């Protein structure tokens, strides 16, 4: 099936740094969702985006729905140790009423 | 808050055994999903259920079946477990007409 291109695959960052990750596709999406998965747990929804160009924040997290509707970005400002985990993007295609298309994830690791 | 629970966090089964994974949600959601998650591959949809007694194949249904006899419960069945079904299994639910899926904590299944 289809998959989103999510990058980077992993990131080593210092505490306090800002983080950016993105998802791209050749397809047009109606909705973008960003999830975080802690080790040994299920993904938890962070931010949902519904309109092209939309910019939405959730605390130190900010996500944007790309203007072409083919991409989305997630930024984390001033990272802290509890930001460690895997971040997934997921998109809803216009022609699908149930299935999300998932990125492979970005693993965030904080350098000691 | 949406609560999705899964019957086991960890499960070890032998090749050829029949395996049942149970998922229960308490938010009266119509739609429920089963995914498997493997490193580097993101989340892959196994089966989906629109409503009670309804099911639809996802991207990787081979070797699996499902049952939805009650709205709150969605079961994943491995008729004859094989070692290549060793994986993390995630259940999710969603309200009809929305896109956000809510996940359980996952079941890490090992088939030996």
Question: Is the pLDDT reported for residue B88 higher than 60?
Answer: yes
d(CA A86, CA A16): 18
Q: Which residues of B touch A99 (CB under 8 A)?
A: 45, 48, 58
Predicted confidence (pLDDT) at residue B24 exceeds the cutoff of 60? yes
What pLDDT, on the 0 to 100 scale, is given for residue B12? Answer: 97
Peptide bond into A9 cis (omega under 30): no
Is residue B19 pLDDT above 70, yes or no?
yes
> pLDDT digits over A57-92, tens only?
999 999 999 999 999 999 999 999 999 999 999 998
Report pLDDT for B40: 79
pLDDT average, residue stretch B73-82:
97
B44, B50, B100 ranked by CB distance to A45: nearest: B100
Q: Give the tens place of pLDDT for each residue, B33-56.
A: 999 999 878 899 999 999 999 999
Interchain contact, A1 vs B59, CB within 8 Å:
yes
**B52: which DSSP letter?**
T
Q: A30 and A92 in contact (C-beta within 8 Å)?
A: yes
Task: Pick the residue from chain B with its C-alpha nearest to A105.
Answer: B42
Structure tokens at B35: 């995914």
| Cβ-based interface (< 8 Å): residues of B facing A | 4, 9, 31, 40-45, 48, 50, 56, 58-59, 90, 92, 99-106, 108
Residue A1 reports pLDDT greater than 60:
no
The residues, any chain, with a CB within 8 Å of residue A2's CB and separated by 6 or more, are A25, A27, A93, A101
């Amino acid at each position: 099936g289809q998959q989103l291109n999510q990058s980077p695959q992993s990131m080593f960052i210092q505490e306090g740094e800002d983080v950016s990750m993105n998802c791209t596709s050749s397809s047009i999406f109606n909705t973008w969702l960003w999830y975080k998965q802690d080790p040994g747990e299920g993904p938890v929804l962070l931010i949902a985006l519904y309109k092209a160009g939309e910019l939405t924040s959730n605390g130190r997290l900010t996500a944007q729905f790309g203007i072409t509707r083919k991409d989305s970005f997630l930024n984390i400002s001033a990272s802290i140790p509890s930001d460690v985990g895997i971040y997934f993007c997921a998109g809803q295609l216009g022609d699908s009423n149930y299935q999300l298309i998932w990125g492979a994830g970005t693993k965030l690791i904080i350098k000691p | 808050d949406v609560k999705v629970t899964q019957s086991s966090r960890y499960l070890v089964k032998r090749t050829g055994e029949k395996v049942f994974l149970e998922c229960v949600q308490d938010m009266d959601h119509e739609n429920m999903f089963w995914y498997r998650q493997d490193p580097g591959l993101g989340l892959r949809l196994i089966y989906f259920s629109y409503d009670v007694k309804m099911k639809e194949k996802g991207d990787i249904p081979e070797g699996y079946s499902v049952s939805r006899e009650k709205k709150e419960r969605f079961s994943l069945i491995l008729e004859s477990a094989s070692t290549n079904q060793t994986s993390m299994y995630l259940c999710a639910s969603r309200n009809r007409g929305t896109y956000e899926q809510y996940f359980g904590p996952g079941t890490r299944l090992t088939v030996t």
